[in-house]
Structure 1
Amino acid sequence: MTEPATTTRHGGAVPAGPRDTAEAVAGGKEGAAESGSTAARPSVIPGAGPAPRPGEQATLRLRETGEGTGEPPRYAPEWLRLREPADAAARSRELLDPLRVRLAGLPRRAGGLVVHDIGCGTGSMGRWLAPHLDGAQHWVLHDRDPYLLHFAAVASPRSAADGSRVTVETRRGDVARLTPDALAGASLVTASALLDVLTREEVEALAAACAGAGCPALFTLSVAGRVELTAPHPMDREIAEAFNAHQRRDGLLGPDAVTAAAEAFGEHGATVRLSPSPWRLGPERAALTEQWLRGWVGAAVEERPALAERADRYLTERLEACAAGRLRVVVHHSDLLALCRPVDGAA
């Protein structure tokens, strides 16, 4: 990639602004069907699921470039804000201790840790992780969408776990084409809900870039391809299989992403640790559950249009259960920590 297309620096004392969430790519991957069924009602937030009806603003997917506009993909901050608490609750804390040990062994720098957040969206990964790490931190936020980067800068974390200062800068560019040079000097590379919307080649390139920079990498919330709904329904498995096939469209890794990433980092000599990070959705997150459900079913129907009529009835039943507070869902994800070999002899 040409790195960066634009770069903006921000100090820790950024004025308060909209606090949205970071996983811009995740909205698109959770389903983007074109349909007239229940799954495509205009109440679906762009990014959470299927495109609205004609005349409404359509969902833009990760790889769309907005033909004729020159604009990067855009995802609704409303969806990102809605999912941020569930993301924060789901991310694995078991991987934080080995990460802290590795970071503590790095040579001391005057500016503290340098953390690259890949596909940052509006910055929720930083808001979650920065307060879990000690010491001064400088976050470099990468995304293709300047609109989301604006939110990431405005709502950036202010301080580390020990009260040290956290600063940020934003870089607009193609997150799938980072090079070791772009990551030079990085203490850590991180991303949330990113790996499953990359191809195998892009994951291998990302692993090579991290290994070339000699820094650890923490990737959270990659879909695992398993969903549990209460109470079970005969169509659950059929919808899940169609959704997983949709996740793998156009060569994307989808549910295979964590396995592919573990293999790619392993080939570069990294020590890889995996940990589950499931979303647990219920009555307390009814709005998110509804949006996720519409997107999940909508993507399945886009993949297998023959499901449309039965899926519409299925979705109606599930939405009624959600509205009544009876529906609980576990959406399985995986987190990955890759401890790459340092290039400077550090621990």
Structure 2
Amino acid sequence: MTKPATTTQPAAAIPAQPGPRDVTDAAPGPVRDDMAPESGTDGSTVIPGAGPAAPRPGERDTVRLRDTGEDEPPRYAPEWLQLREPADADARSYELLDPLRIRLANLPGRAGGGLVVHDIGCGTGSMGRWLAPRLDGTQHWVLHDRDPYLLHFAAVASPRSAADGSHVTVETRRGDVARLTSDALAGASLVTASALLDVLTREEVVALAAACAGAGCPALLTLSVAGRVELTAPHPMDEEITEAFNAHQRRGGLLGPDAVTVAAEAFSEHGATVRLNPSPWRLGPEQAALTEQWLRGWVGAAVEERPDLARRADAYLAERLAACAAGELRVVVHHTDLLALSRPVDGSA
């Protein structure tokens, strides 16, 4: 891991949902050209990260979590992460919070001490904005991501207060998530991530489980794709698009919709108690902007995987987008949240 860089909290109020306008004065520079919306094949605009992005020659088609160069463009634009943040917050499983709180309250050395939370692949920090105000006690969040631009958004928009009013502080670490070790997590109270597992390989998930087990800290890993989608009204191509999209998610050895199963097995092999809960997006007319972007990315990935679908998929997408614009489309995108309660390193809980 790279050397931690401590971020000083700004004195101004922290916005609840960061976007380019929220942090203009503090931004490290103007929005880069590679952050601009991409044009779809039909002339539409697609926010980067909402659909498949063209990999560099020989590169896996996935979010670039590894530290591979200063000139590398981000995979997800802040605009996309901001657009999905309310749906993510509504979807995450509240049922996993009580067992997590109990474990955190009984961690060795916790009496009178604060929490140290590592947010892996933090993006713009939506997980911290959701979770920190739901946990008691002083918290220090360590935000990990390979993109310094996203780390900036996450630091500026981090919450100031815990559920009981205790202070929340933050630092950022830019580095290689795939090489995370128990040494890097020494002293951690909790490891958390959102929408991360499905863009990792089996080896990377196994390494993450081993790192958490070695550090003796629980892990809350939310919003992993489950490979199932429901749209109303049903269409004959729904299943075909879903299967092609799922195949796209598994490119290059990535786990895609298999991620939660692999992670549950990996944590269990290290003696952790694992709980799984559904965390579906439920998108209706109020989420039309998100639904539109998701549809374009979902169908686009399916066509990239199976170019023979292109002609029929164009008609399918047009029909679905028209229903979305008319307020008639409802979508359930299934995800799964995972809570792994690893044994504390002294075995006391």
| Greater displacement, 214-223 / 110-119 | 110-119
Q: Distance in 2 between matches of 1:216 and 1:151?
A: 26
- Is the contact made by 2:65 and 2:177 (CA closer than 8 Å) also made in structure 1? no
Structure 2 counterpart of 1:57: none
Match of 1:156 among 154, 158, 162: 158
Q: Distance in 1 between matches of 2:65 and 2:250?
A: 16
Post-superposition shift, 1:271? 0.4
Structure 1 residues 276 and 36, CA gap change in structure 2 (3 angstroms): closer
Q: Distance in 2 between matches of 1:241 and 1:5?
A: 42
Match of 1:146 among 135, 143, 148: 148
- Is the contact made by 1:15 and 1:154 (CA closer than 8 Å) also made in structure 2? no
Amino acid of the structure 1 residue aligned with 2:6: T
Structure 1 residues 214 and 299, CA gap change in structure 2 (3 angstroms): same
SS at match of 2:192: strand
Structure 2 counterpart of 1:24: none
Post-superposition shift, 1:10? 3.2
1:202-217 matches, within 5 Å, as: 202-217=204-219
| Greater displacement, 108-117 / 154-163 | 108-117
How large is the RMSD of aligned CA atoms in angstroms?
2.3
Q: Distance in 2 between matches of 1:345 and 1:258?
A: 26
Post-superposition shift, 1:186? 0.3
Paired residues in the alignment total 324
- Is the contact made by 1:20 and 1:84 (CA closer than 8 Å) also made in structure 2? no
Q: Distance in 1 between matches of 2:3 and 2:187?
A: 19
Q: Distance in 2 between matches of 1:217 and 1:136?
A: 18
Unaligned runs of 5+ in 1: 22-33, 53-59
Match of 2:272 among 238, 263, 270: 270
1:272-287 matches, within 5 Å, as: 272-287=274-289
Amino acid of the structure 2 residue aligned with 1:156: S
- Is the contact made by 1:92 and 1:277 (CA closer than 8 Å) also made in structure 2? yes
Post-superposition shift, 1:35? 9.4
Structure 1 counterpart of 2:100: 99
Post-superposition shift, 1:81? 0.5
Q: Distance in 1 between matches of 2:228 and 2:169?
A: 37
Structure 2 counterpart of 1:218: 220
SS at match of 1:10: coil
Structure 1 counterpart of 2:327: 325
Amino acid of the structure 1 residue aligned with 2:265: E
Structure 1 counterpart of 2:231: 229
Q: Tell me whether 1:290 sits opposite 2:292 in the alignment.
A: yes
SS at match of 1:117: strand
SS at match of 2:46: coil
Post-superposition shift, 1:211? 0.1
Relative to the length of structure 1, the TM-score reads 0.88
Structure number with greater CO (CA < 8 Å, separation at least 6) is: 1
Amino acid of the structure 1 residue aligned with 2:46: V
- Is the contact made by 2:17 and 2:85 (CA closer than 8 Å) also made in structure 1? no
Q: Distance in 1 between matches of 2:39 and 2:236?
A: 22
Q: Distance in 1 between matches of 2:67 and 2:128?
A: 28
Q: Distance in 2 between matches of 1:64 and 1:108?
A: 31
- Is the contact made by 1:228 and 1:331 (CA closer than 8 Å) also made in structure 2? yes
Identity of aligned residues (%): 81
Q: Distance in 1 between matches of 2:146 and 2:92?
A: 24
Q: Distance in 2 between matches of 1:271 and 1:17?
A: 36
The one-character-per-residue Cα deviations of 1:266-305 (angstroms, maximum 9, x if unpaired) are 1000000000000000100000000000000000000000
